[in-house]
Structures are given as C-alpha cells and as structure tokens.
Amino acid sequence: MTKYFLEYLAWLDGQLESPDTDFRRLMEIHREKTRYFQHERLVHLFVMILFALCTVATFLIIVITERIILIPLALLLLGLLIPYIAHYYFLENNTQKLYRYYDRIAEKLEGDALYR
C-alpha cells in the first residue's frame, strides 16, 4: 500500500505540472482514489485499535494473574502494534496530503467555465 500511495502522489504531481492535463477527469480520478485511501485508512484504524486493545488486555492479564507464560504473547502483540501504528501514521498524513491536492486541482478548474 505504501508503494502504491507514493506512486499515486508522484503521478498526481506529474499531472498537475503537465499542460495537457484534463483537470475535470483528474478531479474524478482523484475523488475516487481519495475514497479508496480513506477506506484503507479506516480499516487500518480498526485493526490498530484491535491490536492495541489486545496488547493492553494481555498486559493486564499478566499483571493480575501473574502468568509469565503470557509475556511472549504480549511482546508479539506489541511487536505487531508498532508497525501498525507507523503504517496508520503514514496513511493518515498522506490522506491529508490528498486533500491539499484536491484544492490544487480545484484551483486549476476555477478557470474552466464548464466546471462551474
């Protein structure tokens, strides 16, 4: 997903700089891609929250029941939680960039009488 997202942002930069770009079509594509990335971000938010809850619950069970056999599970969950947080952070920040690209495309369309 990271590679796909970065490739799309690079493609958008190229389209915004190109004099031959059909900005109405670009806006349609961008709206669809933004919806796709927002959905991806939401799914990763749910997964990250699930892992965080499982991690906290495992640590609480270890503390309450003093079962040290669960420590590897807690460490495994923590090890998975950290990459999920990093990936969600990437998705969140780059989805915010998509909103700025939307504004840039809209500015290009302001001069287009057919868009109004």
In a domain, 75, yes or no: yes
Half-sphere exposure for 44 (CA within 13 Å, toward CB): 22
In a domain, 18, yes or no: no
Q: Which of 17-21, 66-70, 75-79 has the lowest mean pLDDT?
A: 17-21
Confidence of residue 50 (pLDDT cuts 50, 70, 90): very high
In a domain, 4, yes or no: no
Provide the number of structural domains found in the chain: 1
Mean pLDDT of 79-108: 92
* pLDDT score recorded for residue 112: 59
Boundaries of domain holding 54:
24-109
pTM for the structure as a whole? 0.76
In a domain, 28, yes or no: yes
The fraction of the chain above a pLDDT of 90, given in percent, is 77
CB atoms within 10 A of CB 91: 22
Half-sphere exposure for 51 (CA within 13 Å, toward CB): 18
In a domain, 19, yes or no: no
DSSP-H helix ranges across the chain: 2-17, 23-65, 71-109
Mean pLDDT of the chain, nearest integer:
90
